Structure 1
Amino acid sequence: MCDPLAPVIAALAAPGRPSSDYDLNPEISLPPGRKLRAAGVLVAFEEHQGELRLYLTKRAPHLKHHPGQIAFPGGKVDPEDDGPIGAALREAQEEIGLPPENVSILGVLEPHETITGFLVTPVLAHVHTPFTPRPEAGEVDEVFTVPFAHIADPANFWPERRRWLGTWRSYYVAPYGPYYIWGATARMLRTLADRMKAHEDHGRLA
């Protein structure tokens, strides 16, 4: 029987490169000495009725930063965390009620630099058994899942743009139903999709 996580594991073994909120905005010059804050997000997959699904959150609408946006559970690395992986696991427990002991870490993608000054490490993980998500009161408006097939296909991602601080900023989007997945979340998922597609194409040519 085929392991539904096999494409994810194969993608992690393939070569990659760091990504950035600026990937679609090459005209923006970044200062070489800029200081970025370390963060980790949990890209958590769970098998449900034979289908692999990915957990995402919708941030509360009243938050000062990124209100209402779709995001992975995660946040900045605190001193007591064991690096980005520890931060991702801690935040996932706080934000969606996912027990760390119910998770196996598959690996990490290269870090992603955000426009808000974070260096985010996507931590890919497998949720062993189904659990009942508990959105963090005041922080998370909703916890939901999307099918693996949706985020595994690069064709489901495309660039859009909007005005930001007086200039046009381009970014990836990957909408799913009522959920507008965009920005850093979409860019990190696009990185994973590209690596899975590259590995698949290489396998056909081998």
Structure 2
Amino acid sequence: MVGTRATRRRNEGIQQIAERLRSLPEEQHEPVSSKLAAVLVPLFQDEDGVVKVWLTQRAMHLNSHKGEVCLPGGKRDPTDPDDAFTAKREAQEEMGLQPSSVQVLCQLAPMLSKHLYSVTPVVAQVPADFQPQPNADEVDAVFAMPLSAFLDAHQHIHWDVRSKSTTQRFYRVHSFDYQGYVVWGLTAVIMICLAELALGRPPDFEVEHPSNARKPRM
């Protein structure tokens, strides 16, 4: 029975997922840093009925995060009225997604990036016929990945973090390989959290966020 329910939810369409996300309780989350940023999580359903998310690969000539896979987004400008505006503005700049075509479904709690930004994920539904137009100044590629893949088997590594007192702290970094792209770090954590909420089932692996640092089990 459990297996049947999980399989059914794997095959749910964008409308069922959108309804589930819209029904989540609205909560006011405080930023986890004074430095604010937001990312858009653009969901759509392809012609085969598979719900996917658009992801970007940052340009190799950038000074930071070059070549990394991430969600479209960036720093919140002082003139931005809210996180949804920031996320939609950045998605338009990076891959040509028109803000008027974006239907916001929900927002997840802010997460702390490795550069100490408070990153708010803004989850949205976008048109199935959207054709990305990568901005070569910022993005090398735009690709779509199935949402359910973030609950399936994956790889992880353990990082050793040393503070000023040289104390060892270990945490798990999630990593997904998909068609030559590697989705890892904060982007992977955001997508795991969203996929669990959207599909109504837990991942097939143990989730550990950097805030739950601990020594890896042997």
TM-score by length of 1: 0.77
CA 1:158–1:15 in 2, change beyond 3 Å: closer, same or farther? farther
Structure 1 residue 181 and structure 2 residue 183: aligned?
yes
CA 1:86–1:63 in 2, change beyond 3 Å: closer, same or farther? same
Where relative contact order (Cα < 8 A, 6+ residues apart) is larger, the structure is 1
- Secondary structure (helix, strand or coil) at the match of 1:180 reads strand
Q: Is the 8 A contact 1:37 1:119 kept in 2?
A: yes
- Secondary structure (helix, strand or coil) at the match of 2:142 reads strand
Query: Shift of the alpha carbon at 1:11?
Result: 4.7
Structure 1 residue 106 and structure 2 residue 105: aligned?
yes
Q: Distance in 1 between matches of 2:162 and 2:66?
A: 17
1:91-170 aligned at under 5 Å gives the runs: 91-151=90-150, 154-162=151-159, 170=172
- Secondary structure (helix, strand or coil) at the match of 2:137 reads coil
Q: Is the 8 A contact 1:104 1:128 kept in 2?
A: no
Q: Is the 8 A contact 1:157 1:190 kept in 2?
A: no
Structure 1 residue 44 and structure 2 residue 45: aligned?
no
Q: What CA deviation, in whole Å up to 9, does each residue of 1:119-173 have, x standing for no partner?
A: 111111111241221111221010111122313xx23344313466797653111
Give the structure 1 partner of residue 84 of structure 2: 85
CA 1:193–1:87 in 2, change beyond 3 Å: closer, same or farther? same
| Percent of residue pairs identical | 33
Query: Which AA in structure 2 matches 1:148?
Result: L
Q: What CA deviation, in whole Å up to 9, does each residue of 1:11-45 have, x standing for no partner?
A: 5645799xxxxxxxxxxxxxxxx843111111001
- After the TM superposition, which of the residue ranges 111-120 and 126-135 deviates more from structure 2? 126-135
Give the structure 2 partner of residue 10 of structure 1: 20
Give the structure 2 partner of residue 23 of structure 1: none
Q: Distance in 2 between matches of 1:5 and 1:45?
A: 11
- After the TM superposition, which of the residue ranges 77-86 and 90-99 deviates more from structure 2? 77-86
The CA RMSD over aligned residues, in Å, is: 2.7
Q: What CA deviation, in whole Å up to 9, does each residue of 1:40-93 have, x standing for no partner?
A: 111001222032221000001121111110000001110121211100000000
Query: Which AA in structure 2 matches 1:40?
Result: A
- Structure 2 unaligned spans of 5+: 1-11, 203-218
- Structure 1 unaligned spans of 5+: 18-33, 202-206
Q: Is the 8 A contact 1:12 1:108 kept in 2?
A: no
Q: Distance in 2 between matches of 1:83 and 1:16?
A: 15
Q: Distance in 1 between matches of 2:138 and 2:56?
A: 10
Query: Shift of the alpha carbon at 1:118?
Result: 0.7
Query: Shift of the alpha carbon at 1:6?
Result: 1.9
Q: What CA deviation, in whole Å up to 9, does each residue of 1:100-134 have, x standing for no partner?
A: 11111111111111111111111111112412211
Q: Is the 8 A contact 2:55 2:70 kept in 1?
A: yes
**Matched residues, number:** 182
